[in-house]
Amino acid sequence: MRQSILNRRKFLGTALAAAATTIASRTAAETPFLVGEKQVLALSDGHFNMPAGMFLGTPASLRNKLGNPVQIAANTYAYRADNRTFLFDAGAGKSDFITKAFPTASKLPEDLGAAGIVPQDVTDIVITHMHPDHIGGLALGNRFAFPNARIHIAAAEWNFWNAKGFETTAPDAMRPMVAAVQHISNTIENNVALHSGSVDFGDGVSVIPAPGHTPGHTAIVLDGGRERLVLVGDLTVHEEVHFANPEYGWALDIDGDEAVMSRKRLLDMMSADGLIMGAAHVSSPGLGRVERNGDGFRFLPL
Ligand SMILES: [Zn+2]
For residue 226, the CA-to-ligand 1 centroid distance in Å is: 29
For residue 89, the CA-to-ligand 1 centroid distance in Å is: 10
Q: Tell me, yes or no, whether 119 lies in a domain.
A: yes
For residue 279, the CA-to-ligand 1 centroid distance in Å is: 9
For residue 134, the CA-to-ligand 1 centroid distance in Å is: 6
For residue 247, the CA-to-ligand 1 centroid distance in Å is: 18
Buried b (16+ CB within 10 A) or exposed e, 126-159: bbbbbbbbbbbbbbeeeebbbeebebbbbebbbe
Q: Tell me, yes or no, whether 272 lies in a domain.
A: yes
Percent of the chain residues past pLDDT 70, beyond the cut: 90
Mean pLDDT of the chain: 90
Q: What is the mean pLDDT of residues 87-112?
A: 92
Q: Tell me, yes or no, whether 20 lies in a domain.
A: no
Quote the pLDDT of residue 29: 54
Q: Tell me, yes or no, whether 12 lies in a domain.
A: no
The string of pLDDT tens digits covering residues 241-283 is 999 999 999 999 999 999 999 999 999 999 999 999 999 999 9
Q: Tell me, yes or no, whether 293 lies in a domain.
A: yes
For residue 281, the CA-to-ligand 1 centroid distance in Å is: 7
Q: Is the pTM of this model over 0.85?
A: yes
Distance of CA 97 to CAs 134, 166, 174, 179, Å? Answer: 13, 18, 12, 9
Q: Which residues contact 66 (CB under 8 A, 6 or more apart)?
A: 52, 55, 238, 240, 241
Percent of the chain residues past pLDDT 90, beyond the cut: 86
Q: Tell me, yes or no, whether 280 lies in a domain.
A: yes
For residue 210, the CA-to-ligand 1 centroid distance in Å is: 14
Quote the pLDDT of residue 22: 37
Q: What is the mean pLDDT of residues 73-81?
A: 96
For residue 149, the CA-to-ligand 1 centroid distance in Å is: 22
Q: Tell me, yes or no, whether 140 lies in a domain.
A: yes
Per-position DSSP letters for 22-77, written without gaps between them:
GGGG--SSSEEEEETTEEEEEEEEEEEEE-GGGSTT--HHHHHHH-SSEEEEEEEE
Q: Tell me, yes or no, whether 72 lies in a domain.
A: yes
CATH number at residue 155: 3.60.15.10
Give the chain's domain count: 1
For residue 117, the CA-to-ligand 1 centroid distance in Å is: 23
For residue 3, the CA-to-ligand 1 centroid distance in Å is: 37
For residue 132, the CA-to-ligand 1 centroid distance in Å is: 8
The string of pLDDT tens digits covering residues 18-47 is 444 333 333 345 788 999 999 999 999 999
Quote the pLDDT of residue 1: 35
Q: For residue 103, what are the domain limits?
A: 30-301
For residue 213, the CA-to-ligand 1 centroid distance in Å is: 9
For residue 53, the CA-to-ligand 1 centroid distance in Å is: 16
Q: How confident is the model at residue 16 (pLDDT cuts 50, 70, 90)?
A: very low
Q: Is the pLDDT of residue 301 over 80?
A: yes
Q: What is the mean pLDDT of residues 127-149?
A: 97
